[in-house]
Protein backbone atom coordinates (compact mmCIF):
# COMPACT_ATOMS: atom_id res chain seq x y z
CA UNK A 1 0.00 0.00 0.00
CA UNK A 2 1.32 3.40 -0.98
CA UNK A 3 1.01 6.29 1.48
CA UNK A 4 -0.14 9.38 -0.40
CA UNK A 5 2.11 12.43 -0.61
CA UNK A 6 0.56 15.84 -0.99
CA UNK A 7 2.65 18.35 -2.90
CA UNK A 8 -0.13 20.50 -4.41
CA UNK A 9 -3.33 21.37 -2.60
CA UNK A 10 -6.24 23.19 -4.24
CA UNK A 11 -8.19 25.18 -1.66
CA UNK A 12 -11.52 26.53 -2.88
CA UNK A 13 -13.19 29.41 -1.08
CA UNK A 14 -16.31 31.52 -1.17
CA UNK A 15 -14.81 33.68 1.62
CA UNK A 16 -17.45 32.51 4.12
CA UNK A 17 -16.78 31.61 7.76
CA UNK A 18 -16.90 27.95 6.78
CA UNK A 19 -14.35 28.45 4.01
CA UNK A 20 -12.10 30.24 6.49
CA UNK A 21 -12.39 27.26 8.85
CA UNK A 22 -11.56 24.88 5.97
CA UNK A 23 -8.47 26.96 5.15
CA UNK A 24 -7.02 25.94 8.51
CA UNK A 25 -7.13 22.32 7.33
CA UNK A 26 -5.55 23.20 3.99
CA UNK A 27 -2.78 25.11 5.78
CA UNK A 28 -2.23 22.26 8.26
CA UNK A 29 -1.90 19.67 5.51
CA UNK A 30 0.31 21.89 3.38
CA UNK A 31 2.54 22.55 6.37
CA UNK A 32 2.76 18.88 7.31
CA UNK A 33 3.60 17.73 3.78
CA UNK A 34 5.55 20.83 2.73
CA UNK A 35 2.99 21.30 -0.05
CA UNK A 36 1.98 24.41 -1.93
CA UNK A 37 -1.57 25.75 -1.81
CA UNK A 38 -3.42 27.23 -4.75
CA UNK A 39 -6.39 29.34 -3.68
CA UNK A 40 -9.40 29.35 -6.03
CA UNK A 41 -12.48 31.55 -5.82
CA UNK A 42 -15.23 31.28 -8.43
CA UNK A 43 -17.64 34.12 -9.04
CA UNK A 44 -20.89 32.67 -10.29
CA UNK A 45 -21.78 33.90 -13.75
CA UNK A 46 -25.19 35.30 -14.67
CA UNK A 47 -27.75 32.74 -15.70
CA UNK A 48 -28.34 32.55 -19.47
CA UNK A 49 -31.83 34.03 -19.02
CA UNK A 50 -30.50 37.04 -17.07
CA UNK A 51 -27.78 37.48 -19.68
CA UNK A 52 -30.40 37.46 -22.48
CA UNK A 53 -32.54 39.98 -20.63
CA UNK A 54 -29.66 42.46 -20.33
CA UNK A 55 -28.65 41.94 -23.97
CA UNK A 56 -32.22 42.65 -25.08
CA UNK A 57 -32.23 45.87 -23.05
CA UNK A 58 -28.84 47.41 -23.95
CA UNK A 59 -27.56 45.38 -26.88
CA UNK A 60 -24.90 42.67 -27.09
CA UNK A 61 -21.97 44.93 -28.00
CA UNK A 62 -22.58 47.34 -25.10
CA UNK A 63 -23.17 44.45 -22.67
CA UNK A 64 -19.90 42.76 -23.70
CA UNK A 65 -17.99 46.04 -23.20
CA UNK A 66 -19.49 46.58 -19.73
CA UNK A 67 -19.01 42.96 -18.77
CA UNK A 68 -15.36 42.84 -19.90
CA UNK A 69 -14.50 46.05 -18.02
CA UNK A 70 -16.30 44.92 -14.87
CA UNK A 71 -14.83 41.40 -14.99
CA UNK A 72 -11.28 42.79 -14.95
CA UNK A 73 -12.10 45.08 -12.01
CA UNK A 74 -13.91 42.36 -10.09
CA UNK A 75 -11.14 39.81 -10.69
CA UNK A 76 -8.46 42.22 -9.43
CA UNK A 77 -10.60 43.18 -6.43
CA UNK A 78 -11.17 39.51 -5.55
CA UNK A 79 -7.46 38.70 -5.90
CA UNK A 80 -6.69 41.56 -3.50
CA UNK A 81 -9.31 40.26 -1.03
CA UNK A 82 -7.92 36.72 -1.29
CA UNK A 83 -4.34 37.94 -0.72
CA UNK A 84 -5.54 39.79 2.38
CA UNK A 85 -7.39 36.66 3.50
CA UNK A 86 -4.23 34.53 3.09
CA UNK A 87 -2.09 37.12 4.89
CA UNK A 88 -4.59 37.37 7.74
CA UNK A 89 -4.82 33.59 8.13
CA UNK A 90 -1.03 33.22 8.04
CA UNK A 91 -0.80 35.49 11.11
CA UNK A 92 -3.24 33.15 12.88
CA UNK A 93 -0.97 30.16 12.10
CA UNK A 94 2.54 31.54 12.68
CA UNK A 95 4.00 28.07 13.14
CA UNK A 96 2.74 27.00 9.71
CA UNK A 97 4.97 28.16 6.92
CA UNK A 98 2.73 27.27 4.01
CA UNK A 99 3.44 28.35 0.46
CA UNK A 100 0.74 30.00 -1.61
CA UNK A 101 1.49 28.82 -5.14
CA UNK A 102 -1.18 30.91 -6.78
CA UNK A 103 -4.39 32.85 -6.18
CA UNK A 104 -6.98 32.29 -8.89
CA UNK A 105 -10.31 33.98 -9.48
CA UNK A 106 -12.61 32.60 -12.16
CA UNK A 107 -16.06 33.48 -13.40
CA UNK A 108 -18.48 30.70 -14.23
CA UNK A 109 -20.16 27.70 -12.70
CA UNK A 110 -18.27 26.94 -9.44
CA UNK A 111 -18.40 23.14 -9.84
CA UNK A 112 -17.24 23.22 -13.45
CA UNK A 113 -14.47 25.75 -12.75
CA UNK A 114 -13.18 23.72 -9.77
CA UNK A 115 -13.16 20.50 -11.80
CA UNK A 116 -11.46 22.23 -14.74
CA UNK A 117 -8.73 23.55 -12.44
CA UNK A 118 -8.29 20.10 -10.87
CA UNK A 119 -7.85 18.59 -14.34
CA UNK A 120 -5.31 21.20 -15.41
CA UNK A 121 -3.36 21.81 -12.22
CA UNK A 122 -1.81 18.49 -11.18
CA UNK A 123 -3.23 18.69 -7.63
CA UNK A 124 -3.11 15.90 -5.09
CA UNK A 125 -6.02 17.09 -2.94
CA UNK A 126 -8.95 19.53 -2.94
CA UNK A 127 -9.91 21.16 0.36
CA UNK A 128 -13.24 22.95 0.57
CA UNK A 129 -15.86 23.98 3.08
CA UNK A 130 -19.44 22.72 3.00
CA UNK A 131 -22.65 24.46 3.79
CA UNK A 132 -25.72 22.55 4.90
CA UNK A 133 -28.87 24.58 4.45
CA UNK A 134 -32.48 24.21 5.45
CA UNK A 135 -34.23 21.67 7.62
CA UNK A 136 -31.82 18.86 6.78
CA UNK A 137 -28.68 20.85 7.59
CA UNK A 138 -27.10 18.00 9.54
CA UNK A 139 -27.85 15.41 6.87
CA UNK A 140 -26.74 17.37 3.81
CA UNK A 141 -23.65 19.19 2.69
CA UNK A 142 -23.62 22.10 0.26
CA UNK A 143 -24.56 21.35 -3.31
CA UNK A 144 -21.25 22.65 -4.71
CA UNK A 145 -19.13 20.50 -2.42
CA UNK A 146 -21.40 17.50 -2.95
CA UNK A 147 -21.15 17.80 -6.76
CA UNK A 148 -17.37 18.31 -6.66
CA UNK A 149 -17.00 15.32 -4.34
CA UNK A 150 -19.10 13.15 -6.63
CA UNK A 151 -17.29 14.10 -9.85
CA UNK A 152 -13.70 14.83 -8.81
CA UNK A 153 -10.99 12.37 -9.84
CA UNK A 154 -8.71 13.18 -6.88
CA UNK A 155 -9.39 13.11 -3.12
CA UNK A 156 -11.59 15.89 -1.76
CA UNK A 157 -11.52 16.93 1.89
CA UNK A 158 -14.84 18.57 2.78
CA UNK A 159 -14.87 20.53 6.03
CA UNK A 160 -18.03 21.41 7.92
CA UNK A 161 -18.16 24.44 10.19
CA UNK A 162 -18.23 23.19 13.78
CA UNK A 163 -21.29 23.98 15.83
CA UNK A 164 -20.73 26.90 18.15
Torsion, Cα of 66, 68, 69, 74 (10° steps) = 110
Beta bridge partners of 128: 12, 158
> Is 50 exceeded by the pLDDT of residue 138?
no
DSSP-derived secondary structure letter, 4: P
Please give the average per-residue pLDDT across 108-123, as a whole number.
94
What pLDDT is attached to residue 61? 82
Pairing of strands 156-160, 99-108: unpaired
Domains and CATH numbers, the chain: 8-45+75-160 (3.40.50.620)
Q: What percent of the chain has pLDDT over 90?
A: 24
Single pTM value for the model: 0.76
CA dist., res. 77 & res. 68, Å (int): 14
> Is 80 exceeded by the pLDDT of residue 90?
no
Ordered DSSP codes for 45-79: PPPHHHHHHHHHHH-HHHHHHHHHHHHHHHHHHHH
pLDDT in tens, 98-111: 677 888 888 888 99
Amino acid sequence: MKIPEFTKVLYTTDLSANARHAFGYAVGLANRYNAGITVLHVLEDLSPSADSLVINMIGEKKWNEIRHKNEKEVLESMKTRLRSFCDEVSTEFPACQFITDDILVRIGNPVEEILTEVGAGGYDLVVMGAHGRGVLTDALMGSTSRRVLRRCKIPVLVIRLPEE
